[in-house]
Structure 1
């Protein structure tokens, strides 16, 4: 291996690691706000990319019909709760707003399949569809379990992952797809060729991190999420609606996941189940950050991407095995640290 090959591998690792970093940040966000280890995060990657593929090829994406079914289930659940209790205008207004938003997004997806729209608009439509799917999944599955233990929430996440994977196979089929690059240019820096798609992924990851930082620090909704993550009970006591915070967290995670899939689709063929492995690598990075630290999780994701790139060059057959083995020393370190903390408290 010479310097040119090493530089290319680092570039490839940073590009893929940026996607892992986005997923890791999303997983940390969902866990800190809702205590959910959100295994289905990877499905948003596949759903976002394959929804965009359908729009680009002039087909109505089947994710629209999934969104309609989920929305009907949510509305029936809300109507049932409303019928069993006193009439509440806030609940009715919420249902009407949800109906208007869902109908608007479905209409845009239906029209966007046949209209000659810019690539960016179709990407935004795809992300919007997946975001609403994510919030509907949270309302149907996780809101009734918001007081459950982490183990119960984990079991629910496994069930949601299996369901979304099966639904993905039914909607998209077993064939994989790619999209055209967002930025189809190349630049030579010495012997290294830098593609526009790699730059787009890196810039998008940095912008997403900056946007999240501003969101948490400057907006009321972001501060509510941050307060919920710090102290859920305390947030309730000061009037923060933790249920709404959970919906917002899942919506942000779905947006990050679908955008990650759209960014990755020009570089790799996306299948209905591709997101699972990608999401697992994001999960390893989140575990490196202790499921609480955004910067450490992002740095861990970049390390995983670079390590994976070098391992693939040497022996692609053991790539996933070695990467997934990284979680063992991290868990061992966390276990020893937790034991030491307990001993200090007992002393």
Structure 2
């Protein structure tokens, strides 16, 4: 290996690590606020990438009907929960049911392939991101007080269901989108791909926006309070339902943006998101599922190790990456004391 190869591998590692960092932060956010290890995070990555590819190919986006099905199920759940107050919230329910139908009308009437890339990305976000709060309402809100193990089992079930629905909506073929730009930047012996710069820049921008959101906005401070002390936040009037839906919305947003960013770099399949999010999870584990900076740094480390492993031992790069989790867990288990789960 010479210096040029090392720089190329470093570029790939930082590019992938930026995506893993976003996913690590979203997994950590969801866990600290709701105690849910959000395994379906990767499905938002895959759905975002495949939806963007379908729009660029001018194909009908079948995922909009899954959004409508979730909206119907959510409305039915809300009606069941409000039997004593049947007239309350009917306007909101009607809006939730109308939203996917309006999107479907747009998808089936607009010249999708001729739209600007920014408009295609916006349509992708409008379609995929609302599924985050829907998943929380349907599968996690009814069991919000359950143990972490039960929530984990539900996450596994939701992940498997979404993978099957992804196969139904997108098919088994892989897809890749057009790059944001074809330019390259020469830095000494290294030619930096513009798509890599887009990934790093958008990831850094999103991390900064999230930091400002949590530090300066009232909603962000409410989520921080819920993450720090769920019971105390509830006593202070912060709704756990709002906190759960808000964190799932942010997780879906981060996952969808990540899918749009990596779709021009790698071919995505209906089940590709799990492996991507699992590497973000390794980064979150390195951060102990408590530290956002350490989780981001751990995700960058995962990206770099994956890139250099692909050069030295390509067939074993996944094994090398996931083996990282073993010494980290051993070290943290020896360092920390057992703490009983917080009573609700």
TM-score when scaled to structure 2? 0.95
- Give the match for residue 275 of structure 2: 277
For the 8 Å contact 1:102–1:132, the answer to whether it is kept is no
Q: What does residue 342 of structure 2 align with?
A: none
Equivalences, count: 339
> In the alignment, which residue of structure 1 is the partner of 2:196?
198
Q: Deviations over 1:98-148 (max 9, x none)?
A: 335444444444444547321111111112211111211111000101010
In 2, Cα distance between equivalents of 1:326 and 1:255:
28
- Does the alignment pair 1:78 with 2:75? no
**Equivalent residues of 2:112, 2:120 under 8 A apart:** no
Verify: 1:309 aligned to 2:311, yes or no.
no
CA 1:33 to 1:110, structure 2 compared with 1: closer, same or farther past 3 Å?
farther
**1:177-196 matched pairs, under 5 angstroms:** 177-196=175-194
Q: Which runs of 5+ in 2 are unaligned?
A: 340-344
CA distance in 1, matches of 2:9, 2:156: 34
Is 1:227 equivalent to 2:243 in the alignment? no
Q: CA deviation at 1:88?
A: 5.0
Whether the 8 Å contact between 2:56 and 2:112 is mirrored in structure 1 is no
Write out per-residue CA displacement over residues 315-343 of structure 1, whole angstroms, 9 at most, x where no aligned residue: 1100000100000011011101113x77x
Shift of the alpha carbon at 1:18? 0.4
Aligned match of 2:23: 23
- Looking at structure 1, the residues matched to 165 and 225 of structure 2 have their Cα atoms a distance apart, in angstroms, of 35
C-alpha distance in 1 between matches for 2:173 and 2:228: 43
* 2:36–2:151 CA contact under 8 A, matched in 1: yes
Structure 1 pair 31–79 and aligned structure 2 pair: CA distance change class (3 A):
same
Answer whether contact 1:108 1:125 (CA < 8 A) is retained: no
Could you tell me how far apart the structure 2 residues matched to 1:295 and 1:109 are?
Answer: 39
Give RMSD over aligned pairs: 1.5
- 1:176 is paired with a residue whose SS is coil
Aligned to 1:236: 234
**Distance in 2, Cα, partners of 1:336 & 1:273:** 35
Counterpart residue number, 2:60: 60
Which of 332, 336, 339 is the matching residue for 2:330? 332
Q: Write the deviation string for residues 215-251 of structure 1: whole angstroms up to 9, x where unpaired.
A: 1112121111111111111111111111011111111
In the TM superposition, residue 183 of structure 1 has moved relative to its aligned partner by 2.0
**Residues 64, 100 of structure 2: 8 Å contact kept:** no
- Name 1:87's counterpart in structure 2: 86
In structure 2, the residue matched to 1:171 is 169
What is the TM-score with the length of structure 1 in the denominator?
0.94
Q: Distance in 1 between matches of 2:4 and 2:185?
A: 15
Deviation for aligned residue 1:58: 1.0
Does the 8 Å contact 1:54/1:113 carry over to 2? no
Q: Do 1:21 and 1:282's aligned partners in 2 also have CA atoms closer than 8 Å? A: yes
Distance between the aligned counterparts of 2:290 and 2:122, measured in 1?
Answer: 29
Counterpart check, 1:258 vs 2:256: yes
State the alpha-carbon separation in 1 of the partners of residues 108 and 264 from structure 2.
24
SS of match in other structure, 1:270: coil
**In 2: Cα distance, 1:15 partner to 1:114 partner:** 29
Distance, in Å, in 1 between the alignment partners of 2:306 and 2:98 is 44
CA distance in 2, matches of 1:318, 1:58: 38
In 1, distance between residues paired with 2:296 and 2:28? Answer: 10
Gaps (5+ residues) in structure 1? 343-347
Question: Would the alpha carbon gap of residues 235 and 113 (structure 1) be closer, same or farther in structure 2, given more than 3 Å must change?
Answer: farther
> Distance between the aligned counterparts of 1:233 and 1:176, measured in 2?
45
